[in-house]
Structure 1
Amino acid sequence: MGELTKTLELKLVDPNLHKRQKLRETRDAYRRALQAAFDTGCDTQSATNDVVVEYDLSGYAKNALKKYVPQLCGNSYDANEIHDDHPVRFTNEGLQLDHQPQNAIEWYAKVPHHEDYHFWIPARANPDQRDWLEALYADDAEMGESRLFERDGTWYLHITATRDVEDESEASADKRTPVGVDIGEASLVTVCHRDGSGSPVRPRLWAADGKAVRRLRKTYFTATRRLQKRGSERIADSFGDALWDQIDDVFHRVTSEVVDYAESVDNPVLVLEDLRYIRENMDYGEYMNRRLHGWGFAKLHAQIRYKATEKGIPVETVNPRNTSKACHACGEHGYRPRQATFRCSNDGCWVGEYQADVNGAINIADRYRSGESHRQSDWASRQKAGADDSATDGASLTGPQDSQADAETQQTTLGTYAS
């Protein structure tokens, strides 16, 4: 027998206006306390306590901060900054579950608000994790830290649980953990993987960087077109080079952080979409084709590949067909009511709506897990043989290409789902 720890996911179901307000108050107070303790440089639990004690939070959230902030301030993570999307952490006794199997929604979670107030919210669970939740409810599994966060207007709880399991065989322990990498326009890059129980965990999105690159590209095309019309070709070239340098800086930082993310996963393999199929499948009309073909897919792929190789992390590619259209939970096709939202068409699926880029990243990882992959070495052999690979075509449209590997790994900034 051995111990196994899993992350269980619960989606809070339609909190009323009052409870939504309390959830936001808890989140905002937690983030203010976290930022204040981080700015103060609290590297001990005692120092953190002196800062967070003044905030209107439950003791479970304050105690979680007392454990977490010293890690941020040098003991483990040594972060240079923190994002404003951190989940609310509660220590192991903070969250309580209730199970009512006779109800349409079986699970209920008691969320701490502050010292003297908590509230119950119905929650929909991943059905693949039912045995783990029932073990947790029956005290046959031990609850660890829990995290509360909001994603696209929906609130979620991630709960760590530990239970005794039969020892895994040596062969199964050697299996790699596929980390799906979804590259797009809205979120520049999105990564996610599943834990041993199949639950998607620690998704990370570089949405702000996607917005920054879109702004720089728009500035580039608008300004250079105007300068060229005026006959200022030399100025246009110089201005364009300066903007592409800024985009390159973003690409290098983000791809370094993607590889850092993979390093934090046990036995990882980074799974990318095969660029040949991406270009073949692009047919969205002249305007969108021009935008997407000029997007930095090839450059981001290349940077992730060589940086991962430097760290000894394997890279695989898969056919991206329908990875953005299929639901990662049930496999049914769905649609996007908004750019960042995927809606499953299966009314019986527990997911309902999900972050679209995270859904795509999970599907990319799952495609590798199912056995389909094209090894990185295959790419190299095709290119050495002079094969006509469309990725090379695409790379030429993204601006100046890399001439050497990035020698400096950027410091990660620990965001929403950082451990």
Structure 2
Amino acid sequence: MEQTITLKIKLYQPTQAKKQMYQEMADRTTEFANNYLKLDKKDRPKTSKEAKEYSKPLPSAVLAQAIRDIKSKKKVKRFKRLWPNFNNQNFKVEKEVSKDGGAVWKASFPTLERRVGVPIVAQSYQEKYLNLLLSGEVKQGSARLIRCGKDWYIHLSIVLTVEQTKRTEKNMGIDLGLIDLLVASVNGQTLFFSGGELAYIRRHYAELRRKLQKAGAHKALVKLGDKEHRWVTDINHKISHAVIEFAKLHGVTKIRLEDLTGVRWTKSQRKGQRKDRGRSLHSWAYYQLWQFIEYKAALAGIQVELVNPDLTSLTCSRCGHVHKSRPKGRWFTCKRCKKIKHIDVNGADNIAQAISGLAG
């Protein structure tokens, strides 16, 4: 089975001139896309050569890929942003060995001026896949040039072949929360990760941000944000790795997670939309952990399913009795069958059973 993952690789300190050029490429690509959509279908360009009539100067590779991207988004009537995209023939990853024996990674792709080679910041987990790419053990997909805030990234897709073996189906449920960051449960076996350390670190960074904002130290604020992001990303990689190893140890064939795609990851969700769950998944950190589990499970040949979150914290996982309100404290005591279970384990077991059905 083939599995596609996307590596989000940061460009290393591009000059202001390069940033402006990348932005101009993005603006021109978006403008071309909207010009393309305004044309009658019979008049729309089919090749990069034909496309140049409707676009400001862009590399032929970008125009050709833009046509493919536009065609793949059949329902879009107007693009707010279409980022420059390169196929595997026009984008290359290169590796050089530095004097100290370390690896220096570069990416080369066509721009408005010429083909350029730029240094990239490859995280340790990304280097693993980049090395596989250079050795030909995985396939390279498209590479999209994207701006996020003030930084520029390459979103590089790679295709891996994952072996799947036939096994007896065994489902594991995962419950995300605040006090217990993550609880995984499968057939009575549980895995806990406390949210205490993450909560402490985030409070620490929030206090530092407040002081820096008051002092007007904008550069220090940016550096602080990068440091916090790296710390949380490292924690999430370790947790997601442990979750997948736990699943493999217990022969799990399917991991079930709550469908949280419609959730705004802010503290304001404690009440209102998600009041039945009695907890708030309040930041991008939880969403990132959710994503890491999804793609690492796929690489391990474990299927991932999303379930509806309704009633998972209100229902007894043993007898199915639905309570009117979420029990207080850390233990779920069923009023009907009197079963006592850790409240997040109960939730994880309900998620494993998909008591509210699979997400559509």
Q: What TM-score results when the alignment is normalised by the length of structure 1? A: 0.45
Q: Which amino acid aligns with 2:34?
A: Q
User: For the Cα contact (< 8 Å) 1:61–1:89, is it kept in 2?
Assistant: yes
CA 1:47/1:125 → structure 2, altered by over 3 Å: closer, same or farther? same
Distance 1:98 1:13 in 2: 14
Alignment partner, residue 7 of structure 1: 6
Distance 1:169 1:157 in 2: 34
Aligned partner letter, 2:69: Y
1:123 to 120, 141, 152: 120
Determine which of 109, 112, 117 is the counterpart of 2:110: 112
Per the alignment, residue 311 of structure 2 pairs with 377
Give the deviation of 1:141 after TM superposition.
2.7
Please state how far the C-alpha of 1:297 moved relative to its aligned partner. 5.4
Distance 2:137 2:273 in 1: 45
Amino acid at match of 2:57: D
- CA apart distance, 1:21: 2.0
CA RMSD of aligned residues (A): 4.7
- Give the conservation status (yes or no) of the 8 Å contact 2:45–2:51: no
Aligned residue for 2:136, secondary structure, equals coil
1:155 equivalent in structure 2: 152
Q: Is 1:35 the counterpart of 2:46 in the alignment?
A: no
Q: CA deviation at 1:100?
A: 1.4
From 362, 367, 370, give the equivalent of 2:288: 362
For residues 210-225 of structure 1, the aligned pairs below 5 Å read: none
**What SS does the aligned partner of 1:377 have?**
coil
Cα 1:7–1:388, aligned 2, differ >3 Å: closer, same or farther?
closer
Equivalent in the alignment of 1:342: none
Contact 2:315/2:322, CA 8 A, preserved across alignment: yes
Report how far residue 35 of structure 1 moved. 1.8
Residues 296/387 of structure 1: CA separation in 2 closer, same or farther (3 Å cut):
closer
Q: Name the SS for the 2:31 alignment partner.
A: helix
What is the CA distance between 1:299 and its match in structure 2?
4.3
CA distance 1:378–1:179, change in 2 (3 Å)? closer
Q: Indicate the percent of aligned positions where both proteins have the same amino acid.
A: 14
Give the 3-state SS of the residue equivalent to 1:162 in structure 2.
strand
Unaligned 5+ runs, structure 2? 178-253, 298-306, 329-360
CA contact (8 A) 1:45 1:70 kept: no
**Residue of structure 2 equivalent to 1:258:** none
- The residue correspondences of 1:186-201 to structure 2 (distance < 5 A) are none
**CA 1:98–1:176 in structure 2 vs 1: closer, same or farther (change >3 Å)?**
farther
Listed one character per residue, the Cα deviations across residues 341-396 of structure 1 (whole Å, up to 9, x for unaligned) are xxxxxxxxxxxxxxxx3x442135568999xx996433343895333679xxxxxx
Q: 1:164 to 1:52 in 2, by over 3 A?
A: same
Aligned-partner SS, 1:65: helix
Q: Does the alignment pair 1:64 with 2:62?
A: no
Q: What TM-score, normalized by structure 2, do the two folds share?
A: 0.51
Taking a change above 3 Å as real, the CA distance of residues 366 and 97 of structure 1, as seen in their structure-2 partners, is closer
Query: Aligned equivalents of 1:106 and 1:46: distance in 2?
Result: 40
2:312 alignment partner, SS class: helix
Shift of 1:138: 2.8
Contact 1:318–1:374 under 8 Å retained in 2 = no
Total equivalences in the alignment: 233
Q: What's the CA shift string for 1:217-275, capped at 9, x where partnerless?
A: xxxxxxxxxxxxxxxxxxxxxxxxxxxxxxxxxxxxxxxxxxxxxxxxx99844549x9
Other-structure match for 1:94: 90
Cα distance per residue 1:297-317 (max 9 Å; x no partner): 544448xx9xxxxxxxxxxx7
Helix, strand or coil: the match of 2:288?
A: helix
* Unmatched tracts of structure 1, length 5 or more: 182-265, 283-291, 306-316, 325-356, 391-419
